[in-house]
Amino acid sequence: MPRLLVIGTGLIGGSFALAMRQAGCFTHIEGHDADASVTKRARELGVIDAVANDEAAGIAAADAVLIAVPIPEIAGLVRRIAARVGHREVTVFDVGSVKGSVLDALRRDGGVPPWFVPSHPMAGSAQQGPDAADANLFRDRQVIVTPQPESDRASLDRVVGWWRAAGANVVETSTRIHDEMVALTSHLPHLIAFAFMSWVDGPHSGEPRDFAGPGLRDFTRIAGSDARMWRQILAENRAAVLAQYDGWSASLDTLVEHLRHGRLDELENVLASARAARGRLADRSND
């Protein structure tokens, strides 16, 4: 069985390491992180077997590398791995929320290695770091894989197998569809939730906490996510996010104008079909 190196041992990297430990897919799991205290903590928690202090040495010893670093650093890391592994067999995959910008960067500088499998788990939490790592984080969640023309099938099959071993449902799609759809289902909701909390934070006639119920807490939970990470995600997928925003914005305006002008039947029709759509979203996950 192969040896895994996890680069970036926070919530996602740590959860994958725990899931692989539970599934028994690897003989040995090492971790490397730009912040040495994070790998130290992951080791203390038993998330990884050992700390790879030196990135290059860690890569040299690994059969598989999970890249769980900020998106702007992914392409550079793939290049360093390529330089290190040469013709040795290796399987490398990432968990980045945006695919197009990373693949464009790789193509501009040396190409997309056949062993690099872009992947993206639709899982996460406003919690961060190895302390929040959870072997079941990916269970029954979607993981999107975007194979490239350069990809070799064996690498792809291994990565799909590991995600399935972690309990995930794997969906294969194109880079473009991935980036458009996550702009819709993840990036735009984060933008809206952040903007909403920013407005709640302004001066109001009462104290928002006194009027907060469980619905508000659900609606705004994603605004508790890391600001630096979301700056990067929104910037890397800017065109798709803005396109979704513009479309949604028109749809919101229509609804608001129904309310403003007292067109209550039209308003209720939109609410009813939105509710039905929400019901279909819940079909697979029972929530």
Q: Which of residues 122-141 bind its own copies (CB under 8 A)?
A: 122-125, 141
Nearer to its own copies, 132 or 220 (CB): 220
User: With binding defined as CB under 8 A, does residue 284 bind its own copies?
Assistant: yes
DSSP state of 185: I
User: With binding defined as CB under 8 A, does residue 176 bind its own copies?
Assistant: yes
Positions in 11-40 near its own copies (CB under 8 A): none
Choices 9-17, 48-56, 153-161, 170-178 (CB under 8 A): range interacting with its own copies: 170-178
174, 200 Cβ separation under 8 angstroms: no
Distance, in Å, from the CA atom of 51 to the CA atom of 262, rounded to the nearest integer, reads 63
Binder among 142, 145, 150, 159 for its own copies (CB under 8 A): 142
Nearer to its own copies, 88 or 261 (CB): 261
Q: What mask of x and - would describe binding to its own copies in positions 213 to 242, judged by CB under 8 A?
A: xxxxxxxxxxxxxxxx-xx--xx--x--xx
User: With binding defined as CB under 8 A, does residue 275 bind its own copies?
Assistant: yes
Positions in 72-101 near its own copies (CB under 8 A): none
Q: At a CB cut-off of 8 Å and minimum separation 6, what does 175 contact? A: 99, 100, 103, 118, 146, 148
Kindly list the distances between the CA atom of residue 208 and the CA atoms of 193, 197, 198, 226, in Å, as whole numbers in the listed order: 15, 10, 12, 22
Residues forming a β-bridge with 142: 169
Kindly report the backbone phi and psi dihedral angles of residue 5, in degrees, each rounded to the nearest multiple of 5, phi listed first.
-110, 125
